[in-house]
Amino acid sequence: MSNSEVNDYYELISQLIDEAGKIIESRNSERKLIEQKSSDIDLVTETDQQVEKLLIDGIKAKYPNHKFIGEEDSSSGKKAELTDDPTWIIDPVDGTMNFVHSFPHSAISVACVIEKKAEIGIIYNPVLGQKFTARRGQGAFYNGQPIKVSGEKNLSSALLVTEFGTSREEEKTKVVLENITKLVKIAHGFRSLGSAALNIASVALGGADLYYEYGIHIWDFMAGMLIVNEAGGYCCDPAGGEVDLMSRRIICASSKELADEVVSHLTQFYPMPRDD
Ligand code: LIP
């Protein structure tokens, strides 16, 4: 795939995301029509569906052979499949619960993966005007300005970010609370923005030092993972080792040292079903 082709993809997705952002921004303070997905706290609104359609239709119109892994598409039971073809991984509104409550931390998250490598990652919160972007090998940016992770190595000085997630499953909730109980006693601080994508972007920005979560999906973290890597960070599985893209688990950190320290404390959980 030539660089100029990826440039064209970047230009197209940037335009589509700006257009989609206007829809989210205009609806943020309105009352939303909500449907439930896997649980009563896993939500979808008509805006999620409309934004995903706008992005997919806009890409398909120019590149009919491109593939898609979209959050709302997948909620109908379709499994995620990553081939060597250009594949767009889309979360139209990451942080739907926030969007429903007009809590202004939700974002469009889009990654373009070619030959199984992330080439483009964009996370855009139109309500607060926050845009995080990255191209493979070209660094990470916040509203056009280069960004770097904090480089923090020690858990005792680190600001951690995690989520309670979108499931009320007893075993999972137990593990989530157990991990928070352990880490809150050691870490410098703990935060939860309510959007996996924005949590990860906060690590890339150098604001937070490490994000971990069990139960997320490939569309929640794919763009963020590229942005963190391009900002000089480190992403791994919560048990250590390479991220398994379909396993619904991740750590995104400011350094490998900090990730390793958190791994040594975490009780593990393996969400089912996987994304593939
Ligand atoms: C959600 C995230 C939330 C995280 C969930 C889920 P959705 O995405 O924003 O922070 O805890 O695991 O990924 O469903 O709002 O797009």
pLDDT for residue 261:
98
pLDDT, residue 44, reads: 81
3-state secondary structure at position 29: coil
Q: Which whole number is the average pLDDT over 9-16? A: 98
Model pTM score:
0.97
Looking at residues 160-168, what average pLDDT do you find?
Answer: 94
Q: CA-based Rg of the chain, rounded to a whole angstrom? A: 17
- pLDDT per residue as tens digits for the range 68-101: 998 877 777 788 999 999 999 999 999 999 999 9
The CATH-assigned architecture of domain 3-146 is 2-Layer Sandwich (3.30)
Per-residue pLDDT averaged across 2-9, rounded? 93
Q: What's the rounded Cα separation, in Å, for the pair 125 and 258?
A: 27
State the Cα–Cα distance between residues 236 and 254, nearest whole angstrom.
11
> What is the 2 CA–ligand 1 centroid distance (Å)?
33
Residues having CB closer than 6 A to ligand 1 are: 71, 91, 94-97, 163, 165-166, 194-196, 213, 215-217, 220
Domain spans in the chain, listed from the N-terminal domain onward: 3-146, 155-265
String of b and e for 204-222 (b: at least 16 CB within 10 Å)? bbbebbbbbbbbbbbbbbb
pLDDT for 62 beyond 90? yes
- CA 272 to centroid of ligand 1, rounded, Å: 16
CA angle 163, 70, 67 (to 5 degrees): 140
Q: Could you tell me the strand order of the sheet in which 117-125 lies?
A: 67-70, 87-94, 107-114, 117-125, 130-135, 140-142, 145-147
Evaluate if residue 222 carries a pLDDT over 90: yes
Per-residue model confidence as pLDDT tens digits over 17-29: 999 999 999 998 8
Q: How far, in Å, is the centroid of ligand 1 from the Cα of 4?
A: 33
Residue located nearest, by CA, to atom 6 of ligand 1: 216
* CATH code for residues 155-265: 3.40.190.80
